[in-house]
Structure 1
Amino acid sequence: MKKNFIILIVIAVALTGFLYSRPKVVVKDEAKANRDKVSETKTAAKDTEHQESTQAPKLSAEQEKQLSDLKQKLASASNKNALYEQIAQVFLAANRFDSAATYAEKIALADPSTANWMQAGDTYYQAFTLAFRQENVSNYAEKTRECYQKVLDKNPHQLQAKTNIAMTYVQSDSPMQAIMMLREVITEEPSFEPALMNLGVLSMQSGQYAKAADRFKQVVRLNPANLNALLGLGYSLVEMGEKAQAKTIFEDLKKKVKEPTLLEEVNKALESLK
């Protein structure tokens, strides 16, 4: 149960974090190795579960044709950004986030607005989040930081960009930098959900369940509808020996959860508490 719960929250936090910019956390080695087992948590994760371990998601025949046509038009196009955007959208539809990010970056280089750099950073962050091989994790982390830094140069208070940059340091040579940056974010905005959620997940990963529970409780107070925070709180309470409280949370979650994989994990948790 432990592995699956942490990975489920990790993926969910990452993919829902984009609601704030339009965040993932990088899991530690054990969770990272098992990511494909629970990647059905979100459609994007489901379709990319074997992207790194076997091969990238295949493009459909229609998508291949779309890309071919769009790339032919690039040679003579006066407005390449419009075509870059269309190409990026085709790759996004196929969950090829690395390829989509390349074109999102081209758009930002040609038109360096904050919004374009944020889009490029978000897309590289998705690629980073779902990367399996360490070399790709490192490469996408660096590209993510580069794009988001362009945003922060123009707007130092873009907290989602800073939160996502922080999470690219979790598996780096400076993992404490992630914690420090997240703390900076919540110092600036104590109610910023993505940073609080990420701090909770990092506490879970390091076995600091009391701290994790405190973070998730903060999120639930801010947003009672945050099912991921409730999931994290329930599991943290189990690890703290507060099984009665955890059972109440899981029973409530069972009534609210629609996603099959998450529901399955909640049922397993309840079964283990009998």
Structure 2
Amino acid sequence: MKKHFIILIVLAVALTGFLYSRPKVVVKDEAKANRDKVTETKSSAKEEEHQESSQAPKLSAEQEKQINVLKQKLTGTTDKKVLYGQIAQVFAKANRFDSAAVYAEKIAIVEPTAENWMQAGDMYYQAYTLSLRQENIALYTEKTRACYQKVLEKNPRQLQAKTNLAMTYVQSDSPMQAIMMLREVITEEPNYEPALMNLGVLSMQSNQYAKAADRFKQVLRLNPANLNAQLGLGYSLIELKEKAQARTIFEDLKKKVKDPTLLEEVNKALESLK
């Protein structure tokens, strides 16, 4: 069940509307204060160097060439925002969200709009979610929170920023903060799908499968096409010994799922129900 929960945590990220990567199982260990001011200093260069040496997908030869050409162009222009965006895009397409986030943040520093800080926060959130190393988790957690806090300072009703910010507390010393923030979101917007989905995931984590099932059913009433909610409901029903209902859900999922990783998990679930 632990593995299935981790898969759901990663799948819930897809609800941010910022999914570039394939669904991926990530097992993380337990993961300081928000940085009030982010400046472009020598430390940012060190962060980029640190991130690019981390356990992340390798760039293809063509992507490395693109990055090198774009970085060379940076030295010859004072208007670097467009080039930062192009570099971030290449890294993101390569599933290198750690490095992409560095350049998205540079854009936000140059032009500190809520939208630009949101994009930087989303990139760091992806890096945080997919990170394996404890030191990287700590770094990306801090960066994610700093970016989303800047978004919320400009737009307190940016519910996606608040939802993602909440999820950075799940594996912190204050996990209840995640639940409280998500409840604040659904108090503002009772049908906010990403927050409901994440509350379902957190209910699974705490073995409250009946609550989890209710959350996923609520999501499916809002959006019957949400495969992640179907998956979560299926796993919750297994734990609730509602095997017939669970089998129906997984058989339906098997017809819809295209991604081989998810399909493998669906087949495993069906096998366990025999």
| Cα distance in 2 for residues equivalent to 1:154 and 1:257 | 39
Q: 1:36 maps to what in 2?
A: none
By how many angstroms is 1:224 displaced? 0.5
Q: Secondary structure at the match of 1:241?
A: coil
| Cα distance in 2 for residues equivalent to 1:159 and 1:109 | 22
Contact 1:52 1:131 in 2 (8 A): no
- Which 4+ stretches in 1 moved above 6 angstroms? 51-54
Q: 2:39 maps to what in 1?
A: none
Q: 2:10 maps to what in 1?
A: 11
By how many angstroms is 1:80 displaced? 0.5
- 1:111-190 aligned at under 5 Å gives the runs 111-190=111-190
Counterpart AA for 1:7: I
Q: 1:39 maps to what in 2?
A: none
Tell me the TM-score normalized by structure 2. 0.85
Contact 2:26 2:130 in 1 (8 A): no
| Cα distance in 2 for residues equivalent to 1:247 and 1:168 | 33
Deviation per residue, 1:193-216 (Å, 9 max, x gap): 111111111111111111111110
By how many angstroms is 1:153 displaced? 0.7
Contact 2:213 2:237 in 1 (8 A): yes
Deviation per residue, 1:40-88 (Å, 9 max, x gap): xxxxxxxxxxx99973322222222212211111112131001111111
Number of residue pairs matched by the alignment? 251
**CA separation of 1:205 and 1:28: change in aligned 2, threshold 3 A:** farther
Counterpart AA for 1:63: Q
**CA separation of 1:8 and 1:31: change in aligned 2, threshold 3 A:** farther
By how many angstroms is 1:29 displaced? 5.1
By how many angstroms is 1:271 displaced? 2.0
| Cα distance in 1 for residues equivalent to 2:248 and 2:64 | 49
Could you tell me the percent identity over the aligned residues? 74
| Cα distance in 1 for residues equivalent to 2:143 and 2:197 | 23
Tell me the TM-score normalized by structure 1. 0.85
Listed as ranges, the gaps of 5+ residues in structure 1 are 33-50
Counterpart AA for 2:184: E
By how many angstroms is 1:227 displaced? 0.8
